[in-house]
Chain A
């Protein structure tokens, strides 16, 4: 997809491209700030790794939502349903593959997990596609109805999970080889957290490649800025949107599997709990910005983990304060998306 070679440019009179690195420093600053309060460096490392793992999961869930909003101005309150459905689908698959899960072999464990994730992502992707058709499409451009309808969709989905899988709390056991921790010096890092960070980084990298290096990605970024102009150039933004919606739902499904494994328990309300953080993340990041979403997710997870340790009662409230502070600094979020 290269155009003709980039012509030689004359050095003088070119404007400086302003890269905005300030937000990237925020997580670093926050973790540094937390160190003296936490006191013990070992604890601090444990908390920070936990925060990174949690941040990656939140990012995986939130990235699709923020793009869906950026592209079509659709705010999907039902996103939490995909988290739960993904987790339950994986629960069923892992239940069927209990042999592969319980054997102490990383290979078999990852196979089982990979299969579970695949089923979960395909299932939630399809569900997202149907959700877009049935629930969202009739209310394009009507924010009020969108919020109400998608919220209604969430309730129905959660109740159907009750009907299908039962309402009781389920245990979501980690595969054997992923239990426990890796000890480095006197710091113990849980294996699953490392896996979560890796998965999150892979998703982020893949997303950056797609958004920056493929035509589809360029169209998505262009559409987030000005959907109308993308149509005027001859592209069907609706089709693009349905695709992004389905992929975003599949990612929520992936995030749901990870989140359930992380907590090792599962109820139909699992989506609702984390969605509050997801909303804070996409507001902090700037609605429609994937980069902002990534930094926002790490910030929120850090805040949640440090305060859970320091002042457990105010964990969520501290994130509200974080959001307030950031919105006072940048009212449109860390990376405001240029709109129209």
Chain B
């Protein structure tokens, strides 16, 4: 049973297993364990980013291609559902239709980008995705009559997901099961399903070919695999999963806009989560996303305190200012790519892959 669910891909480390169990239990019972709107928000964000980061790892870690357009697909999912709900009202049908359309757009776009860049040289891909993603971000903010521009769009979700909705008359374990909690569990269930699906993909024969390509594409081609085909399919799969993560995000936030889905800052967050968690292992996405988001919440506060405390030393105080959060991340990022390329999961598993 567990073997089937995990597709035979076990964590293979005691500490890692413990960590993963703790994260899963924490997320599964988040509304009961950590009451309060802030905590449940964090938990939902973790769920969404686990899916997003796992889908990115499909590209970066398993196929060895660097994309800077992952947030674009995330955004397509977010806008697909969000603009649908905004325009046509809050119903499940609109959500389904929005997701379908977004999937279609996302996959077709991923296919075209892949065809254009992966066919010639894999190195084109990083540059072209960067350009396309920038153009998409600009388009999304420029066409504000449709997208809400910089401000984005707020919208309602179906009634059963609204805070006013009560599933039971009485609280369960002291917690009222309202629509927000239902929405959380919807996000959680989607995250678990998508994660297990991704695990299935990377452990299938298809996933093994991807890894062979990552190790040595010339050799894989010589063995008779059409490298371009595999790369493009991986690209489309990753895009589809990112679209779904975007849809989850829109449903949870009841808002969609450039800052929450499309911005380059989110792209950097994703990169960091993958690298810190561990490239080429989906469990890395779980660990990376969780640690990063939790740290982000608390470290920025910590930096504020530290900056205030070092007021007397102007340079240090400036370096520690919460706005310099990205500086620390950037340094952390460079250092981890050098010294820690297998990430936390790679370290915990001990031997290099």
Complex: A in contact with B (CB within 8 Å): yes
The distance from the CB of A171 to the nearest CB of chain B, in whole angstroms, is 21
Bound CA–CA A162/B334 (angstroms): 19
Beyond A283-B128, A317-B138, whether A144 also contacts B329 by CB under 8 A is no
- When the two chains form their complex, are residues B126 and A323 in contact, meaning their CB atoms are under 8 A apart? no
Shortest beta-carbon distance from B129 to chain A in Å: 10
Are A155 and B64 touching (Cβ within 8 A)? no
User: Whole-angstrom distance from the CB of A181 to the nearest CB of chain B?
Assistant: 29
What 0/1 readout, one digit per residue, does chain B (29-42) give for beta carbons within 8 Å of chain A? 00000000000000
- Closest CB of chain A to B66's CB: distance in Å? 5
Q: Which of B121, B127, B326, B341 has the most CB of A within 10 A?
A: B127
Q: Are A148 and B138 in contact (CB under 8 A)?
A: no
B324 interface hit (Cβ, 8 Å): yes
CB distance from A16 to the nearest CB of B (A): 28
Asked, given contacts A148-B271, A323-B128, whether A162 binds B323 with beta carbons under 8 Å apart, the answer is yes
Question: A149-B338, A155-B333, A279-B127 in contact; A316/B138 too (CB < 8 A)?
Answer: yes
Q: Is the CB of B138 within 8 A of A163?
A: no
A272: chain B residues within 8 A (beta carbon): 264
Closest to A316 in B: B135
Mark contacts of B233-259 with chain A using CB atoms, 8 A cut-off: 1 yes-contact digit, 0 otherwise: 000000000000000000000000000
Tell yes or no: B337 within 8 A of A by CB.
yes
Interface residue? A324 (CB, 8 A): yes
A314 contact set on B, CB distance < 8 A? 139, 142
A312 to B144, CA, bound (A): 13
Answer yes or no: B93 CB below 8 A from chain A CBs: no
A313's partner among B128, B139, B330, B334 (CB-CB below 8 A) is B139
Is A163 within 8 A of B135, CB to CB? Answer: no
Cα of A316 to Cα of B139 in the assembled complex, Å: 9
Known: A167-B323, A320-B131. Contact between A313 and B142, CB under 8 A? yes
State the interface size on chain B (CB cutoff 8 A): 41
Contact B126 A327 (CB under 8 A): no
A317 & B139 in contact (Cβ 8 Å cutoff): yes
The distance in angstroms between the C-alpha atoms of A156 and B332, with both chains bound, is 10
Whether A155 and B329, one on each chain, are in contact in the complex, defined by CB atoms closer than 8 angstroms, is: yes
Q: Are B324 and A162 in contact (CB under 8 A)?
A: yes
A308-340: CB near B (< 8 Å → 1, else 0) gives: 000011111101100110010001100000000
Q: Which residues of A contact B134 (CB under 8 A)?
A: 276, 316
Among A144, A145, A159, the residue within 8 A (CB) of B327 is A159
Could you say which residues of chain B place their CB within 8 Å of the CB of A280? 127, 131
Across the interface, which residues of A come within 8 angstroms of B121, CB to CB?
Answer: 287, 332
Q: Which residues of B contact A312 (CB under 8 A)?
A: 142
Knowing A152-B334, A155-B268, A283-B124, the reply to whether A163 touches B318 (Cβ < 8 A) is yes
Q: Smallest distance from the beta carbon of B112 to chain A beta carbons, Å? A: 8
Return the chain A residue nearest B60 by Cβ.
A144
A97-136 CB mask vs B (1 if < 8 Å, else 0) is 0000000000000000000000000000000000000010
Task: Known contacts A77-B126, A316-B138; decide if A147 and B66 are in contact (CB<8 Å).
Answer: yes
What chain A residues lie within 8 Å of B116 (beta carbons)? 324, 327
Q: Does A223 contact B (CB under 8 A)?
A: no
Check B223 for interface membership: any CB of A closer than 8 A: no
B130 at the interface (CB under 8 A from A): yes
Distance, CA A283 to CA B132, complexed state (A): 13
Q: How far is the CB of A299 from chain B (nearest CB, A)?
A: 14
Encode contact with B along A199-211: 1 for CB under 8 Å, 0 otherwise.
0000000000000
The answer to whether B334 touches A163, judged by C-beta atoms less than 8 angstroms apart, is: no
The interface bits of chain B over 101-131 (1 if a CB of A lies within 8 angstroms of the residue's CB, else 0) are 0000000000000001001111110111011
Q: CA separation between A149 and B333, bound complex, in Å? A: 8
- Say whether A148 contacts B323, CB under 8 Å: no
A280 to B135, CA, bound (A): 12
CB-nearest residue of chain B to A333: B120
The smallest C-beta distance from A297 to any residue of chain B, in angstroms, reads 15
- Asked if A194 is at the interface (CB within 8 A of a chain B CB), the reply is no
Determine the residue in chain B with the shortest Cβ distance to A134.
B334
B128, B268, B337: the one contacting A149 at CB < 8 Å is B337
Given contacts A148-B337, A163-B318, whether A283 and B127 have CB atoms under 8 Å apart is yes
Q: Mark A258-293, 1 if CB is under 8 A from B, else 0.
A: 000000000000001001100110110001000000
Q: Rank and list the top 10 A-B pairs by shortest CB-CB distance, nearest first.
A: A155-B330, A159-B327, A152-B334, A313-B142, A156-B330, A279-B127, A152-B333, A316-B135, A317-B135, A147-B66
Interface residues of B (CB under 8 A from A): 60, 64, 66, 116, 119-124, 126-128, 130-132, 134-135, 138-139, 142-143, 264, 268, 271, 275, 315, 318-319, 323-324, 326-327, 329-331, 333-334, 337-338, 341
